[in-house]
Amino acid sequence: QVQLKESGGGSVQAGGSLKLSCAASNSHYDNYCMGWFREGPGKEREGVASIDADGTATYADSVKGRFTISKHNAGKTLYLEMHNLNPDDTAMYYCAARRFSGGDWSLPRTYAYWGQGTQVTVSS
């Protein structure tokens, strides 16, 4: 079992930055594959970025070059650093965990554990 709790959301103007955090409860956190997802108004949940247990990161095309996913294993914390935000980035952001890598990292159904989300709002 992994319990996840996100923080760091807020309201920013276009071009601004935010850093999201996700605290994990499981002592074996460093063995999990972690992901960030978002769900915008009227949109389906989509994968933003993932990071495997070995630190390999993958990004959605829409955030490449602007977002960075990282994790601190000792602190059992996942991060998403977001720069040059635009209104299309407005969404509820969720962190998620799965025990094994492989397959399509961006599919929500491949993740067993989810946080409750943190809201990011970007105004123009």
Per-residue pLDDT tens for 37-47? Answer: 999 999 999 99
Q: How confident is the model over 85-109, as pLDDT tens digits?
A: 999 999 999 999 998 888 899 999 9
Q: What is the four-CA torsion angle of 24, 21, 55, 99, rounded to 10 degrees?
A: 30
Region at 101 (left for phi over 0; alpha for psi -120 to 50; beta for the rest): beta
* Cα–Cα distance for residue pair 73/95, rounded to 1 Å: 15
* Cα–Cα distance for residue pair 67/82, rounded to 1 Å: 4
Which residues touch 119 (CB under 8 Å, ≥6 apart)? 9, 10, 91, 92, 93
Residue ranges in the chain whose pLDDT is less than 50: none
